[in-house]
Amino acid sequence: MARRARRILPGFGLSLGLSWLYLGLLVLLPLSGLFLKTFTLTWEHFWETVASPRALAAYQLTFGASVVAALANAVFGLLVAWVLVRYRFPGKSLVDALVDLPFALPTAVAGLTLTSLYASTGWYGRYLEAAGIKVAYSSIGIVVALTFIGLPFVVRTVQPVLEEIDADVEEAAATLGATPWQTFTRIIFPSILPALLSGFTLALARAIGEYGSVVFISGNMPMRTEIVPLLIITKLEQYDYAGATALAVVMLTVSFGLLLAINLLQRWAQRRFEVRPG
């Protein structure tokens, strides 16, 4: 008679029940309250709030800047992870620690620092504005802030996968006549694609909901540099709680749809490029 494998944690039923209870109290219950508050609006009032020109401009800026920042992090985060894994150089531990700095730094501090750097009198801003590039108080500044806070997600997701790929694989491919580009596109990239998509998803999710680092550098001009989280705060300050929850429901729905689509794409890539024995 086969003996049942002993588990370190409690059995499946108890673990699943505790997981649902934890998620219900922390995630499902607050989100349910959000939807219930929105139901106090009439359809006309709801549509007038979520489809106003000011709200549409805020959606476009928030999601557009978030996608651009996540794509930039996917490219440069992969480069940083590659350098940290494949090379040894003085100060490597310091660079490795600096990657995590956006995780620990309060977002308001990051926003103040970036604003002072990219303002017209800042270290970077004075030269960029002389070249005709305005970063602070523009949409470019928002992308800079969202890129700053999203970088660690890509690096820390891709780095362990790169460490598992033996450098001998690259040498074997070179021995068989493959060029460096062919080795990267046909061997390295398919192996790290699922992890890269995970990092992109995490960076995108963080960017969509970011507030503290953006509110200082954006300038908060309606129809131009106003993000949706700031518009929600404005509604709350005007005691329009139902209008604020209506905007939040739209953000939640669109964000969940985006994340679900990217997760499905990640699973497809994992199955498509899975290495099968034999």
For residues 147 and 72, give the distance between their C-alpha atoms in angstroms, rounded to a whole number: 7
Q: At what angle do helices 228-237 and 53-86 cross, to 10 degrees?
A: 130
269 phi, psi to nearest 5 deg: -65, -35
* Domain assignments of the chain as residue spans, ordered by start: 40-274
Percent of the chain whose pLDDT exceeds 70: 94
Query: How many residues appear in the chain?
Result: 278
191-196 contacts: CB < 8 A, separation 24 or more?
Answer: 191/161, 191/165, 191/273, 191/275, 192/78, 192/158, 192/161, 192/162, 192/165, 193/269, 193/273, 194/266, 194/269, 194/270, 194/273, 195/157, 195/158, 195/160, 195/161, 196/74, 196/78, 196/154, 196/157, 196/158
Res 172: pLDDT: 82
Q: With cut-offs at 50, 70 and 90, classify the pLDDT of residue 274.
A: low
Cα dihedral across residues 244, 247, 253, 259: positive or negative: negative
Which tokens is 180 given? 């460096």
For residues 155 and 195, give the distance between their C-alpha atoms in angstroms, rounded to a whole number: 10
pLDDT digits 0-9 by tens, 28-59: 888 888 888 888 888 898 999 899 999 999 99
Q: With cut-offs at 50, 70 and 90, classify the pLDDT of residue 277.
A: very low
For residues 35 and 40, give the distance between their C-alpha atoms in angstroms, rounded to a whole number: 9
- Which residue reads 């780095």 in tokens? 159
Average pLDDT over residues 127-154: 92
89 phi, psi to nearest 5 deg: -155, 155
Average pLDDT over residues 123-141: 90
> Is the pLDDT at 248 greater than 60, yes or no?
yes
Res 185: pLDDT: 84
pLDDT digits 0-9 by tens, 179-206: 888 888 888 888 888 889 889 988 998 8
Output the CA–CA distances (angstroms, integers) from residue 81 to 3, 118, 181, in the order listed: 44, 26, 18
Q: With cut-offs at 50, 70 and 90, classify the pLDDT of residue 63.
A: very high
> Is the pLDDT at 112 greater than 70, yes or no?
yes
> Is the pLDDT at 3 greater than 70, yes or no?
no
Topology given in CATH for the domain delimited by 40-274? MetI-like fold (1.10.3720)
Q: With cut-offs at 50, 70 and 90, classify the pLDDT of residue 4.
A: low
Res 174: pLDDT: 78
Q: For residues 252-262, b (16+ Cβ closer than 10 Å) or e, as one string?
A: beebeebeeeb
Q: Return the amino acid letter for 166.
A: D
Res 278: pLDDT: 41
Average pLDDT over residues 100-113: 88
Res 151: pLDDT: 92
Res 261: pLDDT: 85
Average pLDDT over residues 138-144: 93
Q: With cut-offs at 50, 70 and 90, classify the pLDDT of residue 158.
A: very high
